Amino acid sequence: MTTLYFDTHLADDERRHRLYSGDVFVYSPRPSTRALTAHARELIEEAFRPLDPQQAQESLPVERFIEIVGPLKPRFIHHPRTLELLLDLLRDLGADMEKTYFDVPRMRVATSGGYLTAGVAYVLHPHRDIWYSSPPCQLNWWLPVYPFESESSFAFHPRYWNEPVKNSSDEYNHYQWNKVGRANAAKEVKADTRRQPKPLEPLELEPEIRVVCPPGGLILFSGAHLHSTVPNTSGRSRFSIDFRTAHLDELASIGGAPSLDRRCTGTTLFELRRASDLSPVPEEIIRLYDPSPPEDREGLVYKPPAAVVPAGM
């Protein structure tokens, strides 16, 4: 059973416990979430000006759209204000800053009507985030920047919370992905050729759960949930931001959600930072997830290209 909690009073320990049972937590917009999405909106609007970002796909050739979104994403990731606002949000939502590790927030664009479905706007097939080398205790924090509807949302497939799915995660190595995969995203226009872990059997995707909340609302869920992007037919591009966290207690005990069918290699833990002081995940904990990480740490962590402000914008 998947329970949806709205604006819960539960503290972080109890909330995590329920998230690891497949429950989903939804929060109404509040000052800390509004501040982060308002900041994202400003950067998006600055990049697309004078066009309305949600409608820009109607008047821009797809190559031009990519030219705008490509640099916009790292600009958001690297912006000093982004980090500040993310930490405010975690504090406000009751995270223990000493024990919570987070990675940089990403910005996603889901264009409408199949305008752009590869690379910078890749449409995600059904997947669990933990197939991408993240720990079973990973939590996903997802926030829409503009109003959206069911036709431009994402869906949970709760049937598979307790059931393994045949999948190709054994072909996924996170270090390899960082080296090759993401760096090529901006080059992918028509089809995405990056090797992603995928289900290898027909799935029963219904019943599915879609959660629709206002801009600045927050959907918090386990990275072990099978979920997929709904093909956007809303007529508008959807912009969202998301980031991941992991709690030291579950990292140390290799706890969290059930890990039924995860066979990827490498770990994302080199990318996480502690909320209180930005220190990395302790080496002994990382070794629980990858006993012999490569010596060359340079290649382990994805570094988004430096922020670029397009000329004339």
CA dihedral 187, 193, 198, 199 (to 10 degrees): 130
Count of residues that bind Fe ion according to CB under 5 A = 1
Q: What are the start-end ranges of the H helices in 104-196?
A: 174-176
As measured in angstroms, the least distance from the Cβ of 287 to Fe ion is 26
Out of 103, 129, 250, 261, which residue is the one contacting Fe ion (CB under 5 A)?
129
Tell me the window of 61-69, 84-92, 127-135, 238-246 that interacts with Fe ion (CB under 5 A): 127-135
Residue placing its CB nearer to Fe ion in the complex, 129 or 188: 129
Contacts (CB under 5 A) with Fe ion, residues 169-228? none
Tell me the window of 112-120, 129-137, 182-190, 247-255 that interacts with Fe ion (CB under 5 A): 129-137
As measured in angstroms, the least distance from the Cβ of 126 to Fe ion is 10
As measured in angstroms, the least distance from the Cβ of 192 to Fe ion is 15
As measured in angstroms, the least distance from the Cβ of 80 to Fe ion is 26
Residue placing its CB nearer to Fe ion in the complex, 243 or 289: 243
Closest to 18 (Cα-Cα) out of 220, 200, 191, 310? 220
Residue placing its CB nearer to Fe ion in the complex, 103 or 129: 129
Q: Does 103 bind Fe ion (CB under 5 A)?
A: no
Residue placing its CB nearer to Fe ion in the complex, 92 or 242: 242
Tell me the window of 9-17, 128-136, 172-180, 245-253 that interacts with Fe ion (CB under 5 A): 128-136
Tell me the window of 124-132, 165-173, 185-193, 302-310 that interacts with Fe ion (CB under 5 A): 124-132
Distance between CA atoms of residues 103 and 246, nearest Å: 9
Closest to 139 (Cα-Cα) out of 34, 48, 12? 12
Q: Say if CB 273 and CB 34 are below 8 A apart.
A: no
**Mind giving me the DSSP string for 171-216?**
G-BHHHIIIIIGGGGGG-SSS--S----B-S-----S-EE----TT
Q: What are the start-end ranges of the H helices in the chain?
A: 12-19, 31-48, 56-59, 62-78, 80-92, 174-176, 248-253, 283-289
- Whose CB is nearest to Fe ion? 129
Closest to 47 (Cα-Cα) out of 65, 34, 61, 35? 65
Tell me the window of 50-58, 126-134, 165-173, 213-221 that interacts with Fe ion (CB under 5 A): 126-134
Q: Say if CB 21 and CB 136 are below 8 A apart.
A: no
Residue placing its CB nearer to Fe ion in the complex, 129 or 250: 129
Residue placing its CB nearer to Fe ion in the complex, 129 or 271: 129
Residue placing its CB nearer to Fe ion in the complex, 129 or 261: 129
**Mind giving me the DSSP string for 220-231?**
EEETTS-EEEPP
Residue whose tokens read 């090797």: 195
Q: Which DSSP category does 307 fall into? A: P
Residue placing its CB nearer to Fe ion in the complex, 35 or 222: 222
As measured in angstroms, the least distance from the Cβ of 127 to Fe ion is 6
Q: Interface with Fe ion by CB under 5 A: which residues?
A: 129
